[in-house]
Amino acid sequence: MIAKGTGSQVSRLSLMVIDPSITYPEVESYNKIVEQCPYPCTYHLPVMSDMDSILRSLSRSCGIIILGSAASVHDQSDWQLILSNMLFKAIANDIPILGICFGHQFLAHNLGGRVDYLWNKEKKKGIREICVTNSSLIDSNETFNLIYSHQEGVVECPDNFFVSASSELVEIEAINHSSKAIWGFQTHIEASFSFAQRHGISSDEYQTTDKDGTTLMKSFFDKI
């Protein structure tokens, strides 16, 4: 995407990928996004590094992806408060946003929804089939096999959002803003093979989830 500045200045916009990991940076998942995305990408680690790069890059961003994290949206850490302010600025500027796992919960929590434990604080992981319906991200209703790893989830949609995917295990698998380009997915549609391996997913199992996740990721890129 090309953005015209004042006079003859032309600047190239980029996709901002925010990795709020508190333990293990998801570099391979970021690299996978870079390989698939038609736009330049920037990578930001608000917990392990600092928030400055995010704030500097916002005005040059054509889209934002917030990845997963072992953090909870209820932690109210300093970096989460700063990230929340950035989120509202991005929304005010109509920058497309995709939240994944923690990012999905972060969107819901900050925009008026509710996040809570789903299974009495038990963490579950594996592959599950989700059914996407009435989503503005894809044209048809489809099922996708995707990797998951979490203990909390969105239990109440924010105002101006609707549920756009569900599964037998989780009622609110995805949220979709009614008029803006904002989406959240609880499952890891961006998952790299190294991420899958760390969560006990075999190579054969990963192939199906990779195909389905890529379909959804590319649909987001098409909306930028």
Tens of pLDDT, residues 23-37: 989 999 999 999 999
- How far is residue 67's CA from residue 88's CA, in Å, rounded to a whole number? 17
Q: Mark whether 62 is an active-site residue.
A: no
Residue 81 phi, psi dihedral angles, 5° rounding: -65, -40
- How far is residue 58's CA from residue 44's CA, in Å, rounded to a whole number? 11
Q: Mark whether 150 is an active-site residue.
A: no
Residue 92 phi, psi dihedral angles, 5° rounding: -60, -30
Buried b / exposed e over 104-126, threshold 16 CB at 10 Å, is: bbbbbbbbebebeebeeeeeeee
Q: Mark whether 188 is an active-site residue.
A: yes
For the domain spanning 2-223, the CATH number is 3.40.50.880
- Average pLDDT taken over every residue of the chain: 93
Instruction: Note the pLDDT tens digit of each residue in 180-224.
Output: 999 999 999 999 999 999 999 999 999 999 999 999 999 999 999
Selected catalytic residue, list 37, 101, 109, 173: 101
Check residue 50 and give its pLDDT. 80
Residue 10 phi, psi dihedral angles, 5° rounding: -130, 130
Selected catalytic residue, list 104, 109, 177, 188: 188
Asked if residues 128 and 169 have their Cβ atoms less than 8 Å apart, the reply is yes
- How far is residue 217's CA from residue 69's CA, in Å, rounded to a whole number? 18
Asked if residues 189 and 221 have their Cβ atoms less than 8 Å apart, the reply is no
Segment 1-8 shows an average pLDDT of 33
DSSP state of 158: P
pTM of the model: 0.93
- How far is residue 86's CA from residue 102's CA, in Å, rounded to a whole number? 16
- How far is residue 11's CA from residue 212's CA, in Å, rounded to a whole number? 33
